[in-house]
Structure 1
Amino acid sequence: MLEELEIRDLGPIHHARLAPSSAMTAITGETGAGKSMLLSAIRLISGGPAQSRRVGPGAQEAWAQGVFAVAQDNPAVMQAKDAGVDAAADEGELYLSRTVPVNGRSRSVLSGHTVPRSVLQKVSEHLVTIHGQADQLRIASAARQREVLDAYAGDAELVDAYGKAWNALKAMDERLDALEHQQADVRQRADYLRESIERINQVDPQPGEDEELKAKRSRIENAASIQQGVNGAIAALDASQLDTDADSSGATDLVRRAALSLRSIRVDGDDTYDQLAQRLDSIEADLSDVVFTLSRQTDDDDDEGDLDAINTRIHDLGELTRRWGPGLADVIAWRDKAAFEVEDLDASPEKLEQLRADRDRLARRALDAARELSAARQKAAGDLGERVTAELGELAMAGSRLDVRVVPHEVDDADVMRTLDAHGMDDIMFAFTPFPGSEPLPMGSSASGGELSRLMLALELTIAERRGEAADMTFIFDEVDAGVGGKAAAELGRRLAKLARSSQVIVVTHLAQVASWAQEQYVVSKGAAGTLPDEPGGIGVTTTVTRVDGEDRVREIARMLSGSESGTSLDHARELLSASVE
């Protein structure tokens, strides 16, 4: 949901800030006042093209920012995370902004992070949908029509299942193609891999072996100093470990005697000396453990092995890491991977036959998944077309209709890949009939801007009704009221308000019957001519964007109704606002 839109120096708008309603917001104003700049701002923060001529007179740059509240499961959040932006850190908000200088390239920012324009495009796809004449062409694409139909059909699991089957089939085809077209360089590759695997197996490296050998070599090379230090420590702690006939007492024996001496003290009601003796017992145990460990160390050093053999082994392992490293683990991993590659490169006729059989099985699975997906689409297509057609009748387009056509490809038993593509086995087309007797034509080439906007409204309403729950999406409608008036205009406002129950709706409109249904209304108006900021001697007109409510809104609705604020038009405006409530 769009919480705030702020604009600076975009066209005639020097500065404006809007806080749209979570339901329906109307943008109104006289023709030429600059309402299109608000749509331009939305397109900018959605990653649309930047045009330096849109920078306001006298300004060095234009800037727009939209603040969107997002749920953590919104796909926009994942897109933001992929770009290094965590929406959770901003308390569930995403900030999309764009700066367009007079000279130079535009700058795109996502929640304080500079990002490529394409990131704004990917994120905004899940946040805002603009239905204006320049934006409707997207629905003319087969890909977009397929997405709309799948959204209505609720067949996400079938789409996912087919996608996995298709990817598995493609991967198998690529593998078979590589195996069936081996050339001399491939055979050379196989020979190199076999020789390398044999060399590694001769050495038979073990993970971490080189580091262990280097540590052992270091101990051998420093054996004399190690032995001297260890013996000195043992002599000080317990000389009997080195010489059973030694008379001198070590630290261990002295601590033991001290404990015995303390235990000989007997004082009624005072166990202080006994506690101290117990502490000395603990110290003696620790000292004995240290002596034992040091004694083991001298025993281990006696069994370190031959230094020449260790150096030879380290050299052999080093040869492996230099060629296939950097570490022994990398060498082992390379050998294991190479073994699989050799198996494929040396594929026998039996192996190829087995892979072809696996490929046939994957092709049948993909075809079955495609047929199931196609059946779901065909079932949903008829229902979608009928429901949208019914909505069109309520939008002053009686006689118009939408036909959603799903035409499965003819199955080619010899090669399933000629039947399928990455999205299934169907050609999908939305055909629109604008008036009775007209030929159904592809959507996008058969309707005016206003008709197409109302057709998109009918689609969004139908999908929202099918979804049955709120969508984390902002819909913006422009020109939806073109060619509409009277009772049909009031019904158009009612349908927009209906969509606003489940999604945020912003509509740019000239009709009071539409604007009256909005929870918030903003008026775009031309200010008085005067000196433009930062442009000495420049005379022009600036545009203001003002939120209206109460009597101010009544006056705006009256202006939209009759162009005046007479008593009659004001009464009519109040009556209209009162009636536009469900």
Structure 2
Amino acid sequence: MTLRRIRIQGLGVIDDAELELTEGLNVITGETGAGKTMVVSGLGLLLGARADAGLVRDGAAQAVVEGEVDVPADHPAARRVEEAGGDAEDGLLLVRTVQAGGRSRAHVGGRSAPVGVLTEVGEHLVAVHGQADQWRLRDADQHRLLLDDAGGEEVAAARAAYRSRYDEWQAARARLAELSRTSVERELRIAMLRAALAEIEAVGPTEGEEVALRAESERLTHAEELRNAALVAHEALGGADEVGEDQPFVTGMLSAASTALAPVAAHDEELAGLRTRLDEISYLSSDLAADLASYAGGIEVDEQRLDEVHRRRAALSALLRRYGPGTTELLAFARTTAQELAGLDVSDEDRTALGRRTAELAADVGRLGAELGALRLRTAERVGREVTAELRHLAMGSATVSVHVGQRVVDTADGGSAAAAGAAAGAAAGEGEGGAPAQVPLPDGRMARPRAHGLDDVEIRLAANPGAPARSVTRAASGGELSRVMLALEVVCGGGGVPTYVFDEVDAGVGGRAALDLGARLSRLARSSQVIVVTHLGQVAAHADRHLVVRKSTDGQVTRSGVTVVVGEAREAELARMLGGVDDSQAALEHARELLARRATMAGP
């Protein structure tokens, strides 16, 4: 899963630039004001960020950002594109257009789509970590997902077991709540359903019966007219004995015509063919005459049957007015009604058994949730230690990261005794008093409020300095620090959340040895995911698998920027510029070559 190509047109200083990306670490560098930020802004637009007409290049009618992503057909992003009507068979094509007037359009997989679809697709593909874009840390659910990723298969298995039992418990609760409605309400509903079924069963309709009865009614009502018309047509064809010799009829005239042709037809193939066709018409006429006679003989004027049909149609019409436009819908209603009645009309013993089963499931949810929470807590301690250690290499040696895992525990009425918890579990099948959320018992006798993902609230916290209180990381860190904390988290937690990570200004405030460590950490993350980094540090850029440079040019009137891939001497010159301010300094060039030579060692664990 790789972001292969980004093309940007008419965005800020960028007139038309194309970025060919690779797996591993992609580094984007350039002089201040060259347009590096526009690359990140363009990527943000491609992922559903809010459109700003001010981003459109002066003089351009619109800005266009296009991206190509290689993903397998079963990837969630590919499935979302197909749900939106797009084509994801050979990867994803994402396009975002921003008009100079401010209007924005999105296309996914070759089809127009709401911008929100780009956002949904993008969350499965790319995580952008910039000083103003830390959605993974601002979203509380993402803290839990990062922790669960770090827990690996053990946490994933425990979470799946919990979710399975949780869903089963929720279904049992819903069923019991339905059966536990007030007895008067339930009995009224049962009586209504029984009456409807009895009425339908008394008539006993069959599918399509109304159509057949309508046709039979028409035939019986007009029986005399139908029979007379068939007899007249039969006589015209010549099948009646009472047709006079001087009265022309079809079969007789056809026979005479065939007789006239018979003596000479053998002398000309064309005429022989015409006689053959004439004989075919004669045979068809004779058959038709016989069929008309049979039809007329089968028509009977049956007033008694006509009355029966009218009564049956009236009974069916009464049902259809109440329960459906046709017998197909009527019978479907009857089946649904029977199912609902079977669900409501249960014995007290069955309701009691369902209540016991619901309480058992609640206890299982509490037990499995506690086991999942214990695994998360153990993982949280490890993640906190390892992320804190990583930050020491990222110019944040005084910072301490901790991961808080807390259960949504509630107090029972008598202080939380096991007996009270057991009783509450039985009552927890439905909503509590005042519509309070249902609760489940924990193995220690306390009660907790479960959710689909478990019993736990997870929050990543940061103490920026020794002695400082640990606060939620989004409130305790600056923009550059957030990017570095996120980098440390991605490295420790496995980098498996999304296939591509983008870091913008992750090196803000970093220099010296810390810059070397920062590049090594980015390279380490790039072993398992595609990483795109915008940086101004040569120590970071030296670790790149692909180095892209944003350069601006001017003709004296218009300034524009483009993107090129640098390798060999061109890359050494760019690193030298970043390290020493000029690209032809021999000392800076030697430093650049030294960094490139040490890259493999510095990228180690």
Pairwise same-fold verdict (TM > 0.5): yes
Partners of 2:498 and 2:370 in 1: how far apart? 32
Where does residue 275 of structure 1 map in the other structure? none
Where does residue 572 of structure 1 map in the other structure? 591
Partners of 1:423 and 1:173 in 2: how far apart? 18
CA deviation map 1:58-111 (0-9, x unaligned): 1222111111110123111121122122311xx1x1111111112252111102
CA deviation map 1:380-437 (0-9, x unaligned): 2222222323322333333433212212233652265242233321121212233333
Match of 2:548 among 522, 525, 535: 522
Matched, 1:437 2:456: no
Where does residue 494 of structure 1 map in the other structure? 520
What is the SS of the residue equivalent to 1:482? coil
Where does residue 70 of structure 2 map in the other structure? 69
Greater Cα shift, 427-436 or 506-515 = 427-436
Letter in 2 for 1:437: G
Letter in 1 for 2:7: E
Letter in 2 for 1:578: A
For structure 2, the 5+ residue unaligned runs are 231-294, 413-420, 429-437, 440-447
Where does residue 78 of structure 1 map in the other structure? 79
Matched, 1:485 2:515: no
Matched, 1:196 2:196: yes
Structure 1 pair 182/346, CA: closer, same or farther in 2 (3 Å)? Answer: farther
Where does residue 446 of structure 1 map in the other structure? 476
C-alpha RMSD of the superposition: 3.9
Partners of 2:467 and 2:523 in 1: how far apart? 32
Letter in 2 for 1:147: L
Partners of 2:75 and 2:202 in 1: how far apart? 55
Where does residue 493 of structure 2 map in the other structure? 463
Deviation (angstroms), 1:360: 2.1
Deviation (angstroms), 1:354: 4.9
Task: Indicate conservation of the 8 Å contact 2:163/2:452, yes or no.
Answer: yes
Task: Indicate conservation of the 8 Å contact 1:74/1:472, yes or no.
Answer: no
Partners of 1:205 and 1:406 in 2: how far apart? 61
What is the SS of the residue equivalent to 1:510? coil
Letter in 1 for 2:381: G
Partners of 2:454 and 2:594 in 1: how far apart? 53
Where does residue 148 of structure 1 map in the other structure? 146
Partners of 1:27 and 1:130 in 2: how far apart? 14
Letter in 2 for 1:206: T
What aligned pairs does 1:107-256 form with structure 2 within 5 A after superposition?
A: 107-153=105-151, 154=153, 155-174=155-174, 176-177=176-177, 182=182, 191-211=191-211
Structure 1 pair 370/59, CA: closer, same or farther in 2 (3 Å)? Answer: same
Letter in 1 for 2:459: M
Letter in 1 for 2:557: T
Deviation (angstroms), 1:367: 1.9
Task: Indicate conservation of the 8 Å contact 1:176/1:352, yes or no.
Answer: yes
Deviation (angstroms), 1:496: 1.2
Task: Indicate conservation of the 8 Å contact 1:529/1:542, yes or no.
Answer: no
Partners of 1:103 and 1:189 in 2: how far apart? 58
Where does residue 325 of structure 2 map in the other structure? 326
Task: Indicate conservation of the 8 Å contact 1:65/1:95, yes or no.
Answer: yes
Deviation (angstroms), 1:186: 7.6
Deviation (angstroms), 1:56: 1.0
Structure 1 pair 301/406, CA: closer, same or farther in 2 (3 Å)? Answer: farther
Deviation (angstroms), 1:221: 8.1
Deviation (angstroms), 1:174: 4.8
Task: Indicate conservation of the 8 Å contact 2:210/2:326, yes or no.
Answer: no
Structure 1 pair 333/354, CA: closer, same or farther in 2 (3 Å)? Answer: farther
Deviation (angstroms), 1:342: 4.6
Deviation (angstroms), 1:212: 5.4
Q: Aligned pairs, how many?
A: 515
What is the SS of the residue equivalent to 2:481? helix
Task: Indicate conservation of the 8 Å contact 1:12/1:56, yes or no.
Answer: yes
Matched, 1:105 2:106: no
Letter in 1 for 2:322: R
Deviation (angstroms), 1:116: 1.0
Task: Indicate conservation of the 8 Å contact 1:140/1:442, yes or no.
Answer: no
Where does residue 371 of structure 2 map in the other structure? 372
Partners of 1:427 and 1:485 in 2: how far apart? 36
Partners of 2:202 and 2:181 in 1: how far apart? 32
What aligned pairs does 1:29-44 form with structure 2 within 5 A after superposition?
A: 29-44=30-45
Partners of 2:326 and 2:356 in 1: how far apart? 40
Partners of 1:103 and 1:179 in 2: how far apart? 58
Where does residue 397 of structure 1 map in the other structure? 396
Greater Cα shift, 379-388 or 4-13 = 379-388
Partners of 2:70 and 2:298 in 1: how far apart? 67
Where does residue 278 of structure 1 map in the other structure? none
What is the SS of the residue equivalent to 2:7? strand
What is the SS of the residue equivalent to 1:331? helix
Structure 1 pair 581/55, CA: closer, same or farther in 2 (3 Å)? Answer: same
Where does residue 548 of structure 1 map in the other structure? 566
Match of 1:512 among 524, 538, 542: 538
Q: State the TM-score, normalizing by the size of structure 2.
A: 0.75
Q: State the TM-score, normalizing by the size of structure 1.
A: 0.77
Where does residue 266 of structure 2 map in the other structure? none
Structure 1 pair 472/130, CA: closer, same or farther in 2 (3 Å)? Answer: closer
Structure 1 pair 169/42, CA: closer, same or farther in 2 (3 Å)? Answer: same
Where does residue 240 of structure 2 map in the other structure? none
Letter in 2 for 1:373: L
Residue identity over aligned pairs, in percent, reads: 40
Deviation (angstroms), 1:117: 1.3
Letter in 2 for 1:101: Q
Greater Cα shift, 312-321 or 180-189 = 180-189
Task: Indicate conservation of the 8 Å contact 2:17/2:561, yes or no.
Answer: no
Deviation (angstroms), 1:531: 3.3
Where does residue 476 of structure 1 map in the other structure? 502
Task: Indicate conservation of the 8 Å contact 1:137/1:444, yes or no.
Answer: no
